[in-house]
Structure 1
Amino acid sequence: MLNEEMFLAVREEVTQAKAILVAITKQRPIADIRRMYELGQRDFGENRVPELIEKREALPNDIRWHFVGHLQRNKVSGITPFIHLIHAGDSPRLIRQINKDAAKDGRIVPVLLQYHIADEASKYGLDPAHPAAVLSELNLKELPNVLISGVMGMATYTDVDEQIAGEFNALHEAFTFLKNKHFSEQKDFATLSMGMSGDYPIALQRGSTMVRVGSLLFN
């Protein structure tokens, strides 16, 4: 069940930091999403394509849907007709597939480059030590239906704040390098998506422009 008091407090904190709150609603009932919508929330995130499609069809059309999990290439076509932002651009092959399916839909789909900043092998992502390596494998001029809009990363699941802060700093450095060296003329390259329920305050302190908060918002 939605904890309205917590939801409103988190959203206010994020707004005060001039960032965007993406409410993660995976496995949450449509009624909870509708209530957040009634309270003014418009950005929602899901990590499974079938659930995302089901919820999108049941809820208002002006919701901005974000895909936040690992995205399989054979599932891309299900979301390119409507997705607002794909956070999980974790390989050149996936990015090429997004471009291919977005072209069929006549859309330009925003994508974040996902970097592996955590000390956990289970997480996906590109190497933040070489942030531009993926660009050497992609000719973005040949991918007109993909708009690289920033970066995303997930910190290690730990109570050690110093480690989390260091990982977020590494992602911020990768973002800044790419912005200055490769996307300086692209105003749309502006999203630094980092921070979840357990660590979003640290992420905001480290310059996050978008946080993905889920379990904290529910009882």
Structure 2
Amino acid sequence: MSIKENLIEIKNTFVNPNCKLVAVSKTKPVDALKEAYAAGIRDFGENKVQELVDKQTQMPQDTQWHMIGHLQRNKVKYIAPFIYLIHGVDSFKLLKEINKEAKKADRIIPCLLQMHIAKEESKFGFDQVELEEMLQSKEIKELEHVKIVGLMGMATFTDNEDVIRREFKGLKALFEELKSNELPQNFNLKEISMGMSGDYLIAQEEGSTMVRIGSAIFGSRN
């Protein structure tokens, strides 16, 4: 099946037709991205800064680039001028670095806070205590060049759908709890990025507004 046919098939399965599809294009050649673009995709997710920067120069100007992987602080400067959304803000230090580079680029960069919802230790993200500490710090209010637009979470890599559903439910509950609180001015929570090729339907059922799908669109990873 072609990329276009894969996209039609995926979209037809969506529980929430308003959920944004981010095509995870990491390791894929630019020709494949252009094929997805021709089929209507504008949101592409990459997890390596160098690859993202290289592809950005070869794609149309209205492409919206999502940084979905673990972002090292020393690499922020390379994507700050053009990045559309950073999904994996997993520490206060990283958020401060993004703010610094966004200021240099004269931009306000939208970000998602990555929460650690999985059982696996290998996954990055804030825990509840770290999130509370950041929200209560004076420094958070001073970050005028970032906008926290939502949360991101990755479920445990498992075939147990109950575990996955419980983790997504927890992220949605945290999102709603945060929205009901008084938050700093640089917060405007509207997105929950959760769900990938294997679990995006469960994620949508549990309130995801944005899913990150790669192999189901482009085929298995190179």
| TM-score (normalizing by structure 2) | 0.92
Secondary structure of 1:149's counterpart equals strand
Q: Which amino acid aligns with 1:199?
A: D
Q: 1:79 to 1:174 in 2, by over 3 A?
A: same
**What is the identity, as a one-letter code, of the residue corresponding to 1:54?**
D
Partner of residue 100, structure 2: 100
**Alpha carbons of structure 1 residues 102 and 184: separation in structure 2 relative to 1, 3 Å:** closer
C-alpha distance in structure 2 between counterparts of 1:215 and 1:182, whole Å: 39
- Could you tell me how far apart the structure 1 residues matched to 2:53 and 2:120 are? 30
Q: Distance in 1 between matches of 2:96 and 2:159?
A: 37
Deviations 1:14-72 (A, max 9, x none): 48431100000000010110011111110000000000000000010100000000000
Secondary structure of the 1:189 match is strand
5+ residue gaps, structure 1: none
Tell me the residue number matched to 2:39: 39
CA 1:125–1:153 in structure 2 vs 1: closer, same or farther (change >3 Å)?
same
Q: Which residue in the other structure is 1:169 paired with?
A: 169
AA matched with 2:132: A
Deviation at 1:141, TM superposition (A): 2.4
- Structure 1 equivalent of residue 209 of structure 2: 209
Q: Distance in 2 between matches of 1:176 and 1:43?
A: 25
Cα distance in 2 for residues equivalent to 1:85 and 1:153: 15
Aligned-residue offset at 1:12: 4.0
**SS of the residue 1:17 aligns to:** coil
1:23 counterpart SS class: strand
Aligned residues: 219
Question: What does 1:140-159 align with in structure 2 at a 5 Å threshold?
Answer: 140-159=140-159
Query: Where in structure 2 are the equivalents of 1:10-49 lying within 5 Å?
Result: 10-14=10-14, 16-49=16-49
Q: Aligned partners of 1:213 and 1:113: how far apart in 2?
A: 19
Shift of 1:178: 1.1
Aligned-residue Cα RMSD (Å) equals: 2.0
Cα distance change, pair 63–140 in 1 and its aligned pair in 2 (3 A): same
In structure 2, how many angstroms separate the alpha carbons of the residues matched to 1:129 and 1:202?
Answer: 27
Spell out, residue by residue over 1:115-141, the C-alpha distance to the aligned partner (whole angstroms, 9 max, x if none): 000010000001147743331246332
Which position in structure 1 is the counterpart of 2:112? 112
Contact 2:143–2:186 (Cα < 8 Å) also in 1: no
What is the DSSP-based 3-state SS (H/G/I as helix, E as strand, rest coil) of the residue aligned with 2:57?
A: helix
CA distance in 2, matches of 1:49, 1:187: 25
Q: CA deviation at 1:3?
A: 3.5
2:196 corresponding residue in structure 1: 196
Asked if the contact 2:22/2:212 (under 8 Å) is kept, the reply is: yes
Distance in 2 (alpha carbons) for counterparts of 1:37 and 1:115: 30
Structure 2 gap segments, 5+ residues each? none
TM-score calculated relative to the size of structure 1: 0.93
Q: Is the deviation greater in 116-125 or in 175-184?
A: 175-184
Structure 2 CA distance for aligned equivalents of residues 15 and 30 of structure 1: 30
Give the aligned partner of residue 181 of structure 1: 181
Matched, 1:83 2:83: yes
How far apart are residue 173 of structure 1 and its match? Answer: 1.1
Q: Distance in 1 between matches of 2:98 and 2:199?
A: 30
